[in-house]
Amino acid sequence: MDVIETLLPGVGRRYEFTTSDGHRLCVVSTRDDHYTVSTYDSDDPDVGRTLFRLDEDEAVTMAEILGAPRIAVKLADLSREVPGLASEQIEIAAGSRYEGKTLGDTQARTRTGSSVVALVRDDQVIASPLPAQDLESGDVLVVIGTSEGIAKIRTLLGAL
Amino acid sequence: MSVDWALAAAVAPGIADLLIEVGAVLFALGLLGGLARRYGLSPVPLYLLTGLALGEGSAVSLDASTGFLFVGAEIGLILLLLTLGLEFSADEFASVLRHHLPSGFVDLLLNATPGAVAGWLLLDSWTGALVMAGVTWVSSSGIVARVLRDLDRLSNRETPSVLAILVLEDIAMAVYLPLVAVLVAGGGIAQVVIAVSASVTAVLAVLVGSRHFGDRLSHRLAQAEDEQVLLRVFGITLVVAGLTTLLDASAAVGAFLVGLALTGQAAERSRALLSPLRDVFAAVFFVSFGLSIDPSTLPPVLLGAAVLAAVTLLTKVITGWYAAGREGAGPRGRMRAGLVLTARGEFAVVIAGLAVASGLDGAGPLTAAYVLILAVTSPVLARFADDVARPFMPKPAGA
């Protein structure tokens, strides 16, 4: 998808794109981190009709809602582009040896060579989780590595 | 409280008068500004009118505060230019230069020419022509930016071209202001060349420098408390403005350079911290300009100013029409761009103020009348741009 970015000197930036059903959407971000989302008129295609405005906090919340589920998908896309690199999502099963332990306890990186790049819990995504990150059953780990490495980490995490 | 007043009056006679006068003027401006905003107008013309009303021959005299108003006006000018410089970054300027330079030339050619002709005819001198060329050339970035926000036009197709024209005009001021300062003061060709090349060099040096060292400077400033940032930036600006005055350039240019030099977070914080200060002193600046004009000199220039306003309204509309057309906007967008640009305001007054300070008195009343006309009519016209554009619309099929 093409996003057209235009500089608004002294004001901020404008981003435009067309959705698949033909709507042209426009986001103006001003320097004080306020955002205006508008769509273009069918009568006068040069006029942006404001749909809503977001302040800094609201914009962050909005981005989280829209962005979080996308991270895992993006990672999967990324691994597809690099030959030999695979990505997989592994769930911590109830009763797993690592339930209630930390990510560091798994020593996944040392033992398997694969990296845990994100942790999805319910609808929340923790990107680049730290070794101190606790693990609960139902957590989905997004791992990246060679297919061998991923097979190993699956065995490791699946161990009861 | 009455004890304090008595003490103050006893310690420094005149202080009480000064406080009361300045306070009353600022308060009145506050009320007038509120009134202007309610009708979506710029407060600048009302500030000018206040100055005119309080000037020569008025019932109220501002004897005690003359000295303060004079210094306050100078600080107002410096702060206006500083905050203008803070609006730009080198990257933005580079991008505008790449994409919108032709619009800038059309703008200069179409809008400076009528002013130059009027200055030549009405003020009868080359310097008069040069001053009035600047007055009619430069749109008011303050009014235009405000109208664009108020009318919710930031996401419109034509808006980047409008903002680009403002940027080009404002940057061109760095060359134009020293040129005027030297010429009005009676300098020769050699001095003009020196002044202009010095300020071009300074602007380029500052733009390049801020690109390379801006981050470090910004980082330094970002760590300081608000109070320190305010004092440091304000202090440095006054020093630089003073130095450029010593060098016979305008103090305004020095302040503008300081504003350009600050980028990123440093610029953002300075903008936020200095804007209230700027609002106070800029109001003083506009009132002082009004005060410097004898109201009885206005009626004779009114017709000339009105004709000039009408002509340059048209030329600005053509400029905006051209600039927005390059962005691919339709007739209504092009008309909106043209009409919003017609506002002249603070810069016209800055230029005329410079001329009046150097003894070119005739530029004062002419500019005041001109700005009063356009600063009031232009935001109103901008609102009705779509109606004005109707005759230019292609006829709907089947009509």
- For residue B61, CA distances in Å to A27, B10, B28, B55, B364 come to 52, 22, 15, 7, 20
pLDDT (tens digit, 9 = 90+) per residue, B251-299? 888 888 888 888 777 888 888 899 899 989 999 998 988 888 888 888 8
Instruction: Identify the pLDDT of residue A78.
Output: 63
Are A119 and A139 within 8 A, CB to CB? Answer: yes
Round the average pLDDT of chain A to a whole number and report it. 82
Residue B2: inside a domain, yes or no?
Answer: no
Structure tokens given for B311? 């002509």
Range(s) of the domain holding residue A18: 4-54
Q: CA B112 from chain center: how many Å?
A: 16
Residue A75: inside a domain, yes or no?
Answer: yes
Q: Which of A29, A38, A46 to mutate to test the interface with B (most CBs of B within 10 A)?
A: A46
Residue A44: inside a domain, yes or no?
Answer: yes
Residue B397: inside a domain, yes or no?
Answer: no
The CA R_g of chain B, rounded to the nearest whole Å, is 21
To 10 degrees, the CA torsion angle through A150, A154, A155, A156?
90
Percent pLDDT > 70 in chain B is 93
Structure tokens given for B391? 């005759």
Q: State whether A72 and A50 are in the same domain.
A: no
Q: Do B163 and A11 touch (CB under 8 A)?
A: yes
pLDDT (tens digit, 9 = 90+) per residue, B329-342? 888 999 999 999 99
Residue A61: inside a domain, yes or no?
Answer: no
Instruction: Identify the pLDDT of residue B3.
Output: 54
Predicted complex: ipTM over 0.85: no
pLDDT (tens digit, 9 = 90+) per residue, A106-126? 888 888 888 888 888 877 778
Minimal CA separation from A57 to chain B, in Å: 19
Q: Do A44 and B330 touch (CB under 8 A)?
A: yes
The residue count of chain A comes to: 160
d(CA A130, CA B265): 30
Residue A60: inside a domain, yes or no?
Answer: no
Instruction: Identify the pLDDT of residue B398.
Output: 44
Spell out which residues of chain A touch residue B386, defining contact as CB-CB under 8 Å: 44
What CATH number has the domain bearing residue B213?
Answer: 1.20.1530.20
pLDDT (tens digit, 9 = 90+) per residue, A72-105? 566 666 666 667 777 788 888 888 888 888 888 8
Structure tokens given for B170? 């404002």
Minimal CA separation from B395 to chain A, in Å: 14
pLDDT (tens digit, 9 = 90+) per residue, B162-194? 999 998 998 888 888 888 888 877 777 888 888
Spell out which residues of chain A touch residue B145, defining contact as CB-CB under 8 Å: 10-11
Residue B5: inside a domain, yes or no?
Answer: no
Residue B40 has pLDDT above 50, yes or no: yes
Instruction: Identify the pLDDT of residue B105.
Output: 94
Residues B350-386, buried b or exposed e (16+ Cβ, 10 A)? bbbbbbbbbebebbbbbbbbbbbbbbbbbbebbbebb
Spell out which residues of chain A touch residue B330, defining contact as CB-CB under 8 Å: 44-46
For chains A and B, count residue pairs whose Cβ atoms are closer than 8 Å: 69
Q: Do A7 and B157 touch (CB under 8 A)?
A: no
Spell out which residues of chain B touch residue A47, defining contact as CB-CB under 8 Å: 153, 156-157, 332-333
pLDDT (tens digit, 9 = 90+) per residue, B273-283? 998 999 899 99
Q: Which of A10, A14, A36 sits opposite B145 (nearest CB)?
A: A10
d(CA B77, CA B58): 25
pLDDT (tens digit, 9 = 90+) per residue, B43-65? 888 888 888 888 776 667 777 77
Q: Which of B84, B99, B155 to mutate to test the interface with A (most CBs of A within 10 A)?
A: B155
Q: State whether A148 and A89 are in the same domain.
A: yes
Please indicate whether residue B157 or residue A128 has the higher confidence score (pLDDT). Answer: B157
Residue B356: inside a domain, yes or no?
Answer: yes
Q: State whether A45 and A72 are in the same domain.
A: no
Q: State whether A93 and A148 are in the same domain.
A: yes
Q: State whether A41 and A73 are in the same domain.
A: no
Spell out which residues of chain B touch residue A15, defining contact as CB-CB under 8 Å: none
Spell out which residues of chain B touch residue A38, defining contact as CB-CB under 8 Å: 155
Q: CA B92 from chain center: how many Å?
A: 20
- The reported pTM is 0.75
Q: What is B265-332 written as a DSSP string? A: HHHHHHHHHHHHHHHHHHHHHHHHHHHTS-GGGHHHHHHHHHHHHHHHHHHHHHHHHHHHHHTT--HH
Spell out which residues of chain B touch residue A11, defining contact as CB-CB under 8 Å: 145, 148, 154, 163
Domain count, chain A: 2
The strand pairing partners of A52, in sequence order, are A37
Residue A63: inside a domain, yes or no?
Answer: no
Q: Do B330 and A45 touch (CB under 8 A)?
A: yes
pLDDT interval class at B1 (50, 70, 90): very low
SS3 B146: helix
- For chain A, the residues whose C-beta falls within 8 A of a C-beta of chain B are 6-11, 14, 26, 28, 30-31, 36, 38, 44-48, 50
Spell out which residues of chain B touch residue A28, defining contact as CB-CB under 8 Å: 154-155
d(CA B224, CA A114): 44
d(CA B93, CA B174): 13
Q: Do A50 and B88 touch (CB under 8 A)?
A: no
Domain count, chain B: 1
Q: Do A8 and B145 touch (CB under 8 A)?
A: no
The strand pairing partners of A7, in sequence order, are A13
Instruction: Identify the pLDDT of residue B135.
Output: 94
Largest CA distance in chain B: 84
Nearest to B306 by CA among B297, B298, B294: B298
Q: Do B330 and A30 touch (CB under 8 A)?
A: no
Range(s) of the domain holding residue B95: 10-388
DSSP H helices, B139-293, are 141-150, 159-184, 189-223, 226-246, 251-261, 264-291
The residue count of chain B comes to: 399
Round the average pLDDT of chain B to a whole number and report it. 85
